[in-house]
A and B are shown apart, each in its own frame.
Chain A
């Protein structure tokens, strides 16, 4: 009996804690729909009088948010696809091909994944200027494809290391080349893992800040994260515009979250403990 009674306080405490986690989202939504006058009069905690949409509209136009969204989708999407392709090529050689010196090759990729971007940022900035790639979306796509593929190689190599070998042997005996085995057997069978990786690469790239901040200086090339971060860093916005910015920045994340909740929570566990 006493045990049954004890459950509810635990649940209540957890609900309060969970509420604390999402209060910032709620309060931002609340204030994104207030006019500046209303905000200065009633403060941040009052309910909005009506739906004031001009703040969102002004912010959208001021930063050309459609362009920023397009840039983010383009960069993150390209990185997600290219990094998965690069990861699977690497992992095919390491996990299935079991090439010579395999542990060293794997260590090479793991180390590359662990290097902080701070130790790469200036040379990348400098080299991309030399190569004429500075301030292009392509430069960011190339860099993040490689950085994400480091993690992908590490994860996929151990997954492919356990790939049922009979299937591969059988295909080879049927005369399939390595290239055909890769695309017609290994890739289709590993599709669930590849899907998880693609979702992660997309979201990680979307959220990146340091390198895009350095590499994408012109307005037309900036991602959502960089555009919002730079505006905020310069403290050019009033309170309602800040909230409009925050809400428009939060929305894509919420959409990803709702779309990929299961993938994310499952994938993070797989990724962490592999």
Chain B
């Protein structure tokens, strides 16, 4: 049969002819595959993981309930605390810096380049910043671990070429520097995301606001501070929440760049739980680590959603 919108004219008649409305909830059938799949792939594994966190399971045999023992052990585990401290560095590198830099870049691209040099130039520049975002993180890791290699790496070769040999470093191999090197790579990876979101957000800001401010003699920074920032606050919350969560979960980059080393200098919770699961086979302990990570991420997500909805209510 064909259904066309033009037949709307028959509405009244057909209704009178008596098509009893079935109860709304028969739509629930459409939800059935989704709910079953979610139970099998997400809910059951998640509950299992939470349960295993209270046991000393090694991945074989039956788990013994040990209550809070794993969590008590975590409290005294300096490796665990170090990995979370490194997470804060990752939040700076993947959320704070990209958001701040992305804001300035987006405003500059939108304001100066878009207005004076056309949308084509803007699109090309935006594409350059966004490109690392489509790269698999494993590939980004390969590219950078080679650029940052101690001998024959491009960065050291470049420093030598411009006469700054004394600045050469073992970027990923020196425990004092490795974390900052990884942070630098993550800024590069992450920058495009806030930039693109903010540029999209700027399009809905009323241009008259800027014109009025300009007439009043407000300079670029004042306009940025008093118009751009408040206007795209919803986007800023979304980006910060999203990027902070991504930073807490960072795994691939660490695996490929440093494997958590040297000497645990770049270990992060997700990599720490991974090695605890699959290398040390302390599954119970690994589950406890990932449970702590989950609680933090869910709490942050809820705060982010809260701020976002409050912002929507306000506007």
A contact set with B: CB distance below 8 Å: 7, 10-11, 14-15, 17-19, 21-22, 24-25, 27-28, 39-40, 43-45, 86, 89-90, 92-94, 96-100, 105, 108-109, 111-112, 114-127, 142-143, 145-147, 149-150, 153, 166-167, 169-176, 178, 180-182, 184-185, 203, 206-207, 209-210, 213-214, 224-226, 228-229, 232-233, 239, 242-243, 245-246, 249-250, 253-254, 256-257, 261, 264-266, 268-269, 272-273
Alpha-carbon distance A257/B123, docked complex (angstroms): 13
Q: Are B45 and A123 in contact (CB under 8 A)?
A: yes
Within 8 A of A (CB), among B98-141: 105, 108-109, 112-113, 116-117, 121, 124-132, 134-139, 141
The contact of A272 among B44, B143, B154, B239, by CB within 8 Å, is B239
Interface of A is mostly: helix
Contacts A7-B112, A173-B19, A265-B126 hold; do A27 and B30 have CB atoms under 8 A apart?
A: no
Q: What 0/1 readout, one digit per residue, does chain B (34-53) give for beta carbons within 8 Å of chain A?
A: 10011011111110111010
Alpha-carbon distance A153/B31, docked complex (angstroms): 10
Q: What 0/1 readout, one digit per residue, does chain B (131-172) give for beta carbons within 8 Å of chain A?
A: 110111111011111110100111001100100000000000
Q: Are B197 and A18 in contact (CB under 8 A)?
A: no
Contacts A45-B158, A98-B24 hold; do A253 and B134 have CB atoms under 8 A apart?
A: yes
Q: Are B31 and A105 in contact (CB under 8 A)?
A: yes
B contact set with A: CB distance below 8 Å: 1, 3, 5, 7-8, 10-11, 14-15, 19, 24-31, 33-34, 37-38, 40-46, 48-50, 52, 59, 105, 108-109, 112-113, 116-117, 121, 124-132, 134-139, 141-147, 149, 152-154, 157-158, 161, 188, 191-193, 196-197, 200-201, 234-235, 238-239, 242, 245, 248-249, 251-252, 255-256, 259, 269-270, 273-274, 277-278, 283, 286-287, 289-291, 293-294, 297-298, 301
Residue of B nearest to A229 (CB): B138
Nearest-CB distance from A56 to chain B (Å)?
14
Contacts A98-B24, A123-B48, A264-B130 hold; do A180 and B1 have CB atoms under 8 A apart?
A: yes
Alpha-carbon distance A142/B158, docked complex (angstroms): 46
Q: Are A122 and B277 in contact (CB under 8 A)?
A: yes
Contacts A109-B38, A175-B1, A268-B193 hold; do A273 and B27 have CB atoms under 8 A apart?
A: no
Q: Are A122 and B42 in contact (CB under 8 A)?
A: no
Q: When A and B form their complex, which 7 residue pairs have the shortest distance between CB atoms, in order from nearest?
A: A97-B27, A269-B200, A229-B138, A249-B139, A123-B45, A209-B252, A18-B128
Alpha-carbon distance A28/B108, docked complex (angstroms): 29
Q: Are B153 and A210 in contact (CB under 8 A)?
A: no
Alpha-carbon distance A94/B283, docked complex (angstroms): 37
Alpha-carbon distance A173/B3, docked complex (angstroms): 10
Alpha-carbon distance A224/B38, docked complex (angstroms): 27
Residue of B nearest to A105 (CB): B31
Contacts A209-B137, A257-B134, A272-B235 hold; do A229 and B252 have CB atoms under 8 A apart?
A: yes
Nearest-CB distance from A89 to chain B (Å)?
5
Q: Are A203 and B134 in contact (CB under 8 A)?
A: yes
Q: Are B138 and A232 in contact (CB under 8 A)?
A: yes
A-chain residues with CB within 8 Å of residue B26 when the two chains form the complex: 178
Nearest-CB distance from B168 to chain A (Å)?
13
Q: Are A143 and B27 in contact (CB under 8 A)?
A: no
Alpha-carbon distance A174/B11, docked complex (angstroms): 9
Question: With contacts A97-B30, A124-B45, A264-B134 known, what are 7 further pairs, Cβ within 8 A?
Answer: A116-B294, A185-B3, A232-B256, A246-B146, A253-B135, A257-B131, A264-B130
Alpha-carbon distance A143/B40, docked complex (angstroms): 9
Alpha-carbon distance A89/B129, docked complex (angstroms): 36
